[in-house]
Structure 1
């Protein structure tokens, strides 16, 4: 049998790792390969439960992709921004305001960050099935690899994490998995994302914040670690701390939908992006994400059958009868983010109401 030929791709050279002395958040590193056995899942479940209760964040290693495979996917991700014309990007722009979907390109300067400053963030969003949407010509040779990558994220990272979170609530292992079906309607998607350096004037006007503190929409977010250090989480003590780069590692966090389904037991992580440290400020920040969401028709009500919730009680964001479906919540949050009026509560927190739920943004 002849060897499979993969199409060539220009190599993306990432930024050097920062040498600055930064205040990093301290959360656990999970060897997800252990989740393949019942004994391993039992060992990991408590660690994952406590991390998602305390921080809403954890690191994952040994996920099954080699360093070389990771680097190739980053090379492919960069194609979406360097090998596609502005005209073609515009023709494939997301219908964010129209239908509440990120599918396609989110172009630069679409959102308002602060004091009239528009964002310098570009991303390309793909439905997890990959072949169910139109793609730019430059990416078409890589679609089979992109499909394999989404399947890897879905089955080898998302599903194992969901099983561990179910065990943490003393629920059957497949409880959350059964709400996340690859071929069902839903917006679990792959994102290639690039932040570009800003002017000093924009940095002053926004107090160096590139993306305000927020929580994610879906259940579980998977970020493929990259070296430009700009992501911060709000620690339990209320301080912003940096997320450290782990080569070929993943940063995983819970979103609003997981917090609602778990009755407040797992915390949707508050996180933001700020200007990188001085030794990385001239570099763009290229990243890959997989955003997990429950199937569109799943109503985001607490899983009250959990023995844990029956013991400690449930924290709701809204009454069960008013709870949105995953599809309703996704579309409403997508339409509102960066485009609708925020009400300032204090020097740090701004609020908006989406589908009857208070959504907070943090300076």
Structure 2
């Protein structure tokens, strides 16, 4: 990193890892140190294929970002929540999703309806990978260079590696997916810092301990930097929710709706939710560091028909190509509806639905 004298930042005291006996998902681990050889990439591509076809989530290790820098990024991630007044947060909470499909920059607490009249207790801030495209609270500005470098690392070192492996798993040229992830438009790739706050016992009971309903991400690839508070769960093919275990300095990667569109249902968007942590962590806040990515906004979300793999397994597009949305249209519609539209009961137990662009979007509770 080019910065020589880093500005001081208050330390965020994270929770100790839980000692609870939880039913963890058995996720594959993708070792990026093996990317250097064609043989290594081929082996990793097979691992990614199997991971996306089973859980839809996998760990990434040996990515090259030092643990010390990762720890500092979590300290920086807490700044917009702990060092910014509510009044200043509101100044930067203009919601521009009607046009762009994302929040600039804060999503404040109690904006979304969760269930039974209970509203959310989380807030987050989105930071475009070009930090100069938007305004930021004063306390965060000294950390612009580090956040921008962090975004560049996620994009070039992690996202592109994962996209190359997915392309290989589809027997496409390695750069087939990289080419449509330039992500130069506002909100097409961004860092998100998110903080969950403990809720009352009454709210936990009303929502069955669910903090964020089961859902898929609207983009292509989501990168979550592992943190110790156990709250993330994924829905298995057997209908059971399993926890995602914290792995120090590992990344947790999952596919979203765009990958589902592009692969004709072969790699589906992964269903995940956030629930109340186990008892030994319930007094702590949960701080998350993410990198969300989407294809370029003008990419039409139709299957990659040229993939030999998709030709063999069969392509099941989510809609006719003639009415398929662009990435910008899809993320805008998803953002405009989430937590604000009236959901209808589904025939599936514990599932609610909304209709977006003629397509059924499911929410799992």
Q: Taking structure 2 as the reference length, what is the TM-score of the superposition? A: 0.97
Relative to structure 1, is the Cα distance of residues 88 and 185 closer, same or farther in structure 2, using a 3 angstrom cutoff? closer
| Conservation of the 8 A alpha-carbon contact between 1:94 and 1:105 | yes
Q: For residues 82-101 of structure 1, what are the structure 2 equivalents within 5 Å?
A: 82-95=82-95, 98-99=98-99, 100-101=101-102
User: What whole-Å deviation, never above 9, does each CA across 1:202-231 have from its counterpart, x for those lacking one?
Assistant: 000000000000000000000000000000
Of stretches 200-209 and 87-96 in structure 1, the one that deviates more from structure 2 is 87-96
| Conservation of the 8 A alpha-carbon contact between 2:97 and 2:103 | no
User: What whole-Å deviation, never above 9, does each CA across 1:106-133 have from its counterpart, x for those lacking one?
Assistant: 0000000000000001000011111211
Corresponding position: 1:355 with 2:348: no
Which residue number corresponds to residue 294 of structure 1?
A: 295
Query: Counterparts of 2:205 and 2:117 in 1: how far apart (Å)?
Result: 12
Query: Counterparts of 1:174 and 1:184 in 2: how far apart (Å)?
Result: 20
Which residue number corresponds to residue 38 of structure 2?
A: 38
Which residue number corresponds to residue 327 of structure 2?
A: 326
Query: Counterparts of 1:237 and 1:225 in 2: how far apart (Å)?
Result: 25
Give, in angstroms, the shift of residue 357 of structure 1. 1.4
Query: Counterparts of 1:326 and 1:178 in 2: how far apart (Å)?
Result: 14
Query: Counterparts of 2:183 and 2:26 in 1: how far apart (Å)?
Result: 33
Query: Counterparts of 1:342 and 1:210 in 2: how far apart (Å)?
Result: 17
| Conservation of the 8 A alpha-carbon contact between 2:184 and 2:296 | no
Corresponding position: 1:193 with 2:194: yes
Give, in angstroms, the shift of residue 152 of structure 1. 0.5
Give, in angstroms, the shift of residue 103 of structure 1. 2.7
Give, in angstroms, the shift of residue 98 of structure 1. 3.6
SS in 2 for 1:295: coil
| Conservation of the 8 A alpha-carbon contact between 2:192 and 2:291 | yes
| Conservation of the 8 A alpha-carbon contact between 2:3 and 2:145 | no
Query: Counterparts of 1:220 and 1:3 in 2: how far apart (Å)?
Result: 29
Query: Counterparts of 1:318 and 1:310 in 2: how far apart (Å)?
Result: 17
Query: Counterparts of 2:284 and 2:3 in 1: how far apart (Å)?
Result: 37
User: What whole-Å deviation, never above 9, does each CA across 1:335-356 have from its counterpart, x for those lacking one?
Assistant: 0000001111143111111122
Query: Counterparts of 1:182 and 1:330 in 2: how far apart (Å)?
Result: 14
Give, in angstroms, the shift of residue 13 of structure 1. 1.1
Relative to structure 1, is the Cα distance of residues 122 and 9 closer, same or farther in structure 2, using a 3 angstrom cutoff? same
Q: For residues 55-134 of structure 1, what are the structure 2 equivalents within 5 Å?
A: 55-95=55-95, 98-99=98-99, 100-134=101-135
Corresponding position: 1:231 with 2:236: no
| Conservation of the 8 A alpha-carbon contact between 1:186 and 1:295 | no
| Conservation of the 8 A alpha-carbon contact between 1:254 and 1:269 | yes
SS in 1 for 2:254: strand
Q: Taking structure 1 as the reference length, what is the TM-score of the superposition? A: 0.97
| Conservation of the 8 A alpha-carbon contact between 2:227 and 2:246 | yes
Relative to structure 1, is the Cα distance of residues 224 and 144 closer, same or farther in structure 2, using a 3 angstrom cutoff? same
Which residue number corresponds to residue 313 of structure 2?
A: 312
Cα RMSD, aligned residues only: 1.3
Query: Counterparts of 1:78 and 1:7 in 2: how far apart (Å)?
Result: 15
SS in 1 for 2:292: strand
Structure 2: state its 5+ residue gaps: none
Structure 1: state its 5+ residue gaps: none
| Conservation of the 8 A alpha-carbon contact between 2:183 and 2:295 | no
Corresponding position: 1:10 with 2:15: no
| Conservation of the 8 A alpha-carbon contact between 1:29 and 1:60 | yes
Query: Counterparts of 1:83 and 1:291 in 2: how far apart (Å)?
Result: 24
Query: Counterparts of 1:61 and 1:21 in 2: how far apart (Å)?
Result: 24
Equivalences, count: 362
| Conservation of the 8 A alpha-carbon contact between 1:63 and 1:156 | yes
Give, in angstroms, the shift of residue 79 of structure 1. 0.3
Query: Counterparts of 1:300 and 1:210 in 2: how far apart (Å)?
Result: 30
Query: Counterparts of 1:31 and 1:198 in 2: how far apart (Å)?
Result: 37
Query: Counterparts of 1:103 and 1:97 in 2: how far apart (Å)?
Result: 8
Which residue number corresponds to residue 217 of structure 1?
A: 218
